[in-house]
């Protein structure tokens, strides 16, 4: 993928997507170039990986301007109503927490997520029907993100990603399941394809999960 100039972004070739990017505003005084939406550095995370959503934007607050996050690099590569974003996570960032925060900042309501990259460690889950909760499967070694797919829908606390991952280990074996946590190393390259619709997640006490209700 390339920005409005001829600079490669995150080493990701993207074809068939509009390249021209509109200027975005950081404040009311001057516009930022598209390249300025790629920012860092990464925020340090806690030493122990923990499942669960990351911080979000409280309901009712105005949407922040594109590119104002300090801990994430991202660029919009296709304009709405079916917007497409490329999000590149840095070393040490937690994939679930950062994508949750991004979804809430951009007010995403019905999106598809795909990604490749690697984690230094991760936790995936297997849903136990009897316990109505996930059994944690820790992966305590460097692993390749062979596949990461999911969606984003609106739960009671705001837009929430639902992610599944297959992780490749050093001996060629794999671990997979619901992605509860993943510490990025050295990168995670994520494509988020949004839509103008909004999908709601409804909690199902009989199952123990919030599931998409297509209405």
Q: Digits of tens for pLDDT over the chain (215 positions)?
A: 434 444 343 444 444 444 343 333 333 322 323 333 332 323 322 322 333 333 333 333 334 445 444 557 999 999 878 999 999 999 999 999 999 999 999 999 999 999 999 999 999 999 999 999 999 999 999 999 999 999 999 998 999 999 999 999 999 999 999 999 999 999 999 999 999 888 887 888 988 888 878 86
SS3 sequence of the chain = CECCCCCECCCCCCCCCCCCCCCEECCCCCEECHHHHECCCCCCCCCCCCCCCCCCCCCCCCCCCCCCCCCCEEEEEECCCCCEEEEEECCCCEHHHHHHHHHHHCCCCEEEEEEEEEEEEEEEEEEECCCCEEEEEEECCCEEEEEEEEEEEEECCEEEEEEEEEEECCCCCEEEEEEEEEEEEEEEEEEEEECCCCCEEEEECCCCEEEEECC
Q: How confident is the model at residue 71, as a pLDDT?
A: 57
Q: How confident is the model at residue 60, as a pLDDT?
A: 34
């Amino acid at each position: 993928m390339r920005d409005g100039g001829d600079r490669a972004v995150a080493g990701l070739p993207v074809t068939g997507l509009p390249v021209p990017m509109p200027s975005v505003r950081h404040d009311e005084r001057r516009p930022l170039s598209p390249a300025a939406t790629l920012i860092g550095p990464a925020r340090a995370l806690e030493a122990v990986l923990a499942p669960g959503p990351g911080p979000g934007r409280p309901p009712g607050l105005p949407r922040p301007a594109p590119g104002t996050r300090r801990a994430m690099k991202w660029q919009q590569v296709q304009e709405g109503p079916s917007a497409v974003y490329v999000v590149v996570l840095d070393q040490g960032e937690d994939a679930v927490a950062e994508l949750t925060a991004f979804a809430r900042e951009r007010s995403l309501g019905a999106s598809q997520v795909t990604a490749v990259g690697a984690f230094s460690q991760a936790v995936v889950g297997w849903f136990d029907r009897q316990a109505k909760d996930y059994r944690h499967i820790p992966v305590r070694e460097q692993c390749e993100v062979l596949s990461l797919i999911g969606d984003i829908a609106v739960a009671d606390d705001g837009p929430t990603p639902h992610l599944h991952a297959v992780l490749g280990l050093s001996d060629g074996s794999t671990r997979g399941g619901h992605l509860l946590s993943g510490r990025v190393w050295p990168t995670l390259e994520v494509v988020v394809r949004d839509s103008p619709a909004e999908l709601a997640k409804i909690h199902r006490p009989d199952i123990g999960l919030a599931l998409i209700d297509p209405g």
